[in-house]
Structure 1
């Protein structure tokens, strides 16, 4: 059964075919969400279009919700998994032949959604841009969404792609839907993120690299000292255990310092003489 909702076709909203794979749906959503966000699109109706795009992605990005929508259209929210598995007599295993009026009569006391019964609000999604420092520390943050602002508790150690659920903050309805904030870690001038691990360059003077040293290094938690073994070359990774992003359910990530040996330009005759002497010793 094709969707019966003539007001909103989620596939048309995202501009994809009905057989579009998940990665195509995700690309379409991100493109439209960036272009149609009310902070970018100031035209009339931008906020409603953005909400519709987000709702369409919420439904089509989840295989189970998409399956229900493909079969029941706008009534998909009120179809339980048990109802999907219950065939009509004489049609064992033929879930697609379920009589909708009989189904909704049993589920909602004779009120088919859209015919006087309560309609639950849809879950929605919004992206939440965070710096690595904010992701590391967590804490309270005010999030501005189209038409409203919310105070949100950010768990310490959130990672890119993690979803933060705000119950009852989605689309209005009975009951209202939930809002999911999808964490997007912003590019950082110093740190690179690999899961919960962080990677950063560590500038080391040539004499410290040759002789070994304890070199200061900044981390999201504050400054630490890194032990550089004697004979360290550029590109060597030094692991600082537990200095990556926290993990409330397990071990924290690590921080990897990638050594970059920086050679200073000789500024005096004495420095040039010492460099020449060092070159002569290595040439022997």
Structure 2
């Protein structure tokens, strides 16, 4: 079998553009509509087959490294290609194909604060993406020009190929290698977008982040991704949420958790206090004798449910703080208090991982 590079008359390190140019030149000379001789027809088949292999990067790499571009039986890439060549399986698409393609989806990460998660928030995101070329408006042609009809397939996007087989001569249609099946050639590409119909640019995307989002959640924005080549429809934009840690509050589903340090005297006598939640101030009553590890629940002051109504709760874990240093008078008072309240003294109890672990255990049991 003749070497594909020799058939096209190009060097082995020829670029794709050089290979395409050589094929188009030979195809004009050997096409059956131009040169009806039997020798020209055979050469046209060989030239077309060589171009089919070398114009595809994967097939070319396989060919260059010694792989077979012919497959079994001489000239076809295995049983599937034989079937397509004999019975026209590769010609299921009739007419030229469209250059316009759907743009790729895009994924960006958005960080929000826990405060913003409570009720949701709005963001204007600056993203680098592909947008429609304003010069050619997606046509990929220099303004004032238009795609020209392919002089090989005459706009059909396909060419007829006659194959000799055990069944006799079979005529099948394959995509035109000159225009890649489009039926037209862009003779004067738009200089602004290099003939792609789109350019890279920074675009502002307004986003309404709903309440209740959590880290790892992805929001889909249909049609907000990259514009497709040649004015094709846009892909989708996916927003992957990241919720920043808060210095005071943590989260358990839609409940907010925090720790309230209560001085020992207030824990003994009870008190009322005002705490600042994520959405404003809250009055909290602390009963006399409250113990470390107890959880005080404030209803409906947590996070608004995702795509729903209602809110979680604010759960406040109590940590009683005993004074580290006492002056003489304070010590006397504590000793007097201790004398009036007998106890069995310190006792061993089951090991606990800490206040937050105890709080979470209590939440799980509710």
- Cα separation, 1, equivalents of 2:215 and 2:263: 34
* Displacement of 1:145: 3.2
The answer to whether 1:140 aligns with 2:122 is: yes
2:343 aligned with 1:279, yes or no? no
Instruction: Determine which structure has more spread, i.e. the larger CA radius of gyration.
Output: 2
Matched, 1:256 2:322: no
Partners of 1:204 and 1:215 within 8 A in 2: no
- State the 1:164 CA deviation: 3.0
Aligned length: 178
Q: Secondary structure at the match of 1:217?
A: strand
Report 1 or 2 for greater relative contact order, CA contacts < 8 Å, sequence distance ≥ 6. Answer: 2
Shift of 1:101: 6.0
Task: Within 5 Å, give how 1:155-170 maps onto structure 2.
Answer: 155-170=210-225
TM-score, normalising length from structure 2?
0.44
More helix by share: 1
Tell me: CA distance 1:162–1:271, structure 2 relative to 1, closer, same or farther (3 Å): same
Counterpart pick for 2:304 among 236, 242, 246: 246
- Normalised to the residue count of structure 1, the TM-score between the two structures is 0.55
Instruction: Show CA shifts across 1:184-213 (max 9, x none).
Output: 111111111122111111111222222332
Which region of structure 1 is more displaced relative to structure 2, 194-203 or 140-149?
140-149
Does 2:110 correspond to 1:128? yes
Go from structure 1 to structure 2 and tell me whether the alpha carbon gap of 1:100 and 1:195 turns closer, same or farther (over 3 Å shift). farther
Asked if residue 234 in structure 1 is aligned to residue 292 in structure 2, the reply is yes
Give 4+ residue runs of structure 1 displaced > 6 Å after superposition: none
- The answer to whether the 8 Å contact 1:161/1:183 transfers is yes
Alpha-carbon distance change, 263 to 100 in structure 1, aligned in 2, over 3 angstroms: farther
Name 2:276's counterpart in structure 1. 218
Q: 1:101 to 1:177 in 2, by over 3 A?
A: farther
Structure 2 stretches lacking a partner, 5+ long: 1-88, 129-201, 344-366
1:199 aligns with 2:254: no
Please report how far the alpha carbon of residue 124 of structure 1 lies from its aligned counterpart in structure 2 after TM superposition: 2.0
CA contact (8 A) 1:169 1:176 kept: yes
Structure 1: which 5+ runs fail to align?
A: 1-98
What CA deviation, in whole Å up to 9, does each residue of 1:14-39 have, x standing for no partner?
xxxxxxxxxxxxxxxxxxxxxxxxxx
CA separation of 1:100 and 1:211: change in aligned 2, threshold 3 A: farther
